[in-house]
Structures are given as C-alpha cells and as structure tokens.
Amino acid sequence: MMRTLGHIVTRDVLLAMRRRADVATTLFFFVIVASLFPLGVGPEPKLLRAMAPGILWVAALLASMLSLGRLFDADYADGSLEQLMLAPEPLAMVVIGKVMAHWLISGLPLVLIAPVIALQFDLPTGSLGTLFLALLLGTPLLSLIGAIGAALTVGVRGGGVLVSLLVLPLYVPVLVFGAGAVDASTTGMDASGHLSILGALLLLGMVLAPWATAAALRISLE
C-alpha cells in the first residue's frame, strides 16, 4: 500500500507540474490578496499587526479552495477515478495520496511564502515562526476537509460553488485557532494552546477525512 501511495503522490505532482499555470494561480492569489490589504488600510503599524493574523489566514483559506476543483475532476473526466476505485488497495489510501499531492502543490508553497508576505504587516520576528507552524498544521487540514467537499461534487456542474458552501463552515475552527495562534504570539501571549488544538484537529482529520472522502466518492459515482 505504501508503494501505491507513493505512486499516486508522484503521479499527481507530475501532472500538476505540467499545468504550472494552475499551480501558480493559487500562490499568486494568496500573494495578491494579502498584499492589497496594507495598501488599502494604510501604513499604520499597529493596525496592520492587529489585522495580519486574520488577513493572512483568510487569504490562505481562499487560495487553498481555488485548487479543490482539480482534486478529482480531471481523474473523473478521463475515467482514471473509476479505475482507482477498482484497485485492490483501499480507496481511502488512494484519497490520502491525492490529498498529500494536493497539499504539496497548493498548501506547502503558501506555508513557505507566508512569513515573507507577513513582513508587510510589521509582524514581530517571533510571530513569523508561529505563523509558519500554524499554517504547517492548518493547511493539510484544509486539504483534508476540502477533499470531502470535492468528492461530493465530482461531476456536478457548477461544483466549485457547492464545494465552497460545503467546506467553508468546516473551515471555521481551523481559521479561528490558526489566526488565534498568530494573534496570541503578536500580543506576547502563549500560542501553544492554539497550536495544540490545531494539531489535534489535524490528527482527527487524518483519521476520519480519508474514509469520509472515500464514501463520498462512492456515492457520487453511483
């Protein structure tokens, strides 16, 4: 099963690299959205520091949603998804591989570039590390939750809007604790509680989300 997992991750990453414009769209969207706010609200450092956690996390959340439609739709269109469902390995293992590839393509670049973008908001140096850790824990959870919505809307016309309606309420805890960790670090408080909750949510998502996504795929393709 581990070999199958590696093949799926490698396959999806290589396919994504052939569509580099789609991959770059997610990253550019995050950079543009996060960069427009300092220009719009003015150069007041105290105001920017107060707004930074929410702005950066909302921008990351929306950017990750842009690529959810590509998680299963391409495989559904060419028939690969049905073949993957007929494979002897559990469908949940296939889902884990595709979610890992999705995070490597869309989530990891956001984690790496976010501390650089955060410099526009005059965040303290210590808060940059907290932002990195919070996104490192939160963005895989966004991919896991988003996979459930993407699976439920496979083959549905206008599925992008439906995915947003399905997953946005589930993203709220991730947004609250992720932004709360950065805000606590900025104000000099301990952010370990928020990070611990994010870690617990990630573990819960890793256990439950692949099985829920596999069930959603079976329902969608029946």
Q: What are the residues whose beta carbons fall under 8 Å from the beta carbon of 197, sequence distance 6 or more?
A: 177
Please state which of the ranges 5-14, 129-138, 176-185 shows the lowest mean pLDDT: 5-14
Q: Are 214 and 159 in contact (CB under 8 A)?
A: no
Confidence check: pLDDT of 101 > 70: yes
Whole-number Å distance between alpha carbons of 83 and 86 = 5
Confidence check: pLDDT of 204 > 90: yes
- When pLDDT is cut at 50, 70 and 90, the band that residue 120 belongs to is confident
Q: Which two tokens stand for residue 20?
A: 């580099």
Whole-number Å distance between alpha carbons of 213 and 206 = 11
Look up residue 68 and give its DSSP letter.
G
Q: Are 111 and 132 in contact (CB under 8 A)?
A: yes
pLDDT recorded at residue 160: 67
Confidence check: pLDDT of 12 > 90: no
Domain boundaries, the chain: 2-221
**What are the residue ranges of helices labelled H in 19-79?**
20-41, 45-66, 73-78
φ and ψ of 56, to 5 deg: -65, -40
More confident residue, 122 or 99: 99
Quote the pTM value. 0.90
